[in-house]
């Protein structure tokens, strides 16, 4: 493993259990796989690396294993693209009677940046690239706190991303963003309170 500076993005579908309470196993599989495929396209476009899939969410790292000096900005742009494409995906499901469940849950996203240990972990037969450290716990906490349609970040993500926007070359147009401070919050396994910032795309 290596200790390096990176940005972690956690995303999670909100209300999935309620939305899929009466669906079939095939319907659940189709919904989750369809959504993960849509999100993967956003992540690949910004050169992020998916390091974990869950039943209704995922974990992404920017800045490793490929070094990226603008990893915080890439993660932030990726989050806005994920929300945009999630909305389009939801509208498609609602307009297609063949897709069940038609009600698509909202997407919550949390982003943190800082020092992590990154590398392959597991057994000799099953290794997986991942990242561990307090930033991971903080990013996961921000994701859990985000409601559907919301992106929550820590101040270092804002500071680092803003410092890189003039030299952006990520291949995706930079959205116009607004940042609203929500004050300090405490997160599980994080010693000190963290200032939380909500990110919105200006229409």
pLDDT higher than threshold 70 for residue 102: no
Place of tokens 């991942």: 130
Place of tokens 């930079």: 174
SS3 call for 6: strand
Average pLDDT over residues 69-78: 96
Query: φ, ψ for residue 166 (rounded to 5)?
Result: -75, -20
What are the tokens at 159?
A: 């500071």
- Answer for the pair 139, 111: CB distance below 8 angstroms, yes or no: yes
Gyration radius of the chain over CA positions: 17
Superfamily of domain 2-201: Nucleotide cyclase, GGDEF domain (3.30.70.1230)
Average pLDDT over residues 24-53: 89
Using one digit for the tens of pLDDT, what is the confidence trace for 142-154? 999 999 999 999 9
Q: Where are the domains of the chain?
A: 2-201
What CA–CA distance (Å, rounded) separates 82 from 9?
11
* pLDDT of the residue at 16: 77
Distances in Å between the alpha carbon of 194 and those of 12, 59, 74, 182?
A: 20, 20, 22, 10
Average pLDDT over residues 127-152: 93
What CA–CA distance (Å, rounded) separates 55 from 4?
28
What CA–CA distance (Å, rounded) separates 84 from 74?
15
What CA–CA distance (Å, rounded) separates 50 from 166?
27
* pLDDT of the residue at 154: 96
Cut 0.85: pTM above it: yes
């Amino acid at each position: 493993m290596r200790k390096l500076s990176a940005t972690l993005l956690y995303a999670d579908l909100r209300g999935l259990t309620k939305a899929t309470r009466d669906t079939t196993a095939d319907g659940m599989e189709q919904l989750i796989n369809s959504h993960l495929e849509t999100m993967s396209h956003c992540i690949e476009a910004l050169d992020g690396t998916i390091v974990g899939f869950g039943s209704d969410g995922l974990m992404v790292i920017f800045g490793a294993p490929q070094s990226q000096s603008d990893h915080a900005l890439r993660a932030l742009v990726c989050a806005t693209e994920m929300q945009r494409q999630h909305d389009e995906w939801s509208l498609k499901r609602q307009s297609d009677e063949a897709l069940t469940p038609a009600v698509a849950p909202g997407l919550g996203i949390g982003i943190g940046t800082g020092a992590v240990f990154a590398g392959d972990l597991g057994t000799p037969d099953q290794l997986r690239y991942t990242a561990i450290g307090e930033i991971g716990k903080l990013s996961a906490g921000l994701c859990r706190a985000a409601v559907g349609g919301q992106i929550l970040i820590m101040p270092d993500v804002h500071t680092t991303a803003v410092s890189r926007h003039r030299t952006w070359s990520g291949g995706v147009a930079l959205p116009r963003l607004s940042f609203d401070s929500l004050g300090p919050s405490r997160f599980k396994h994080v010693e000190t309170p963290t200032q939380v910032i909500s990110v919105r795309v200006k229409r």
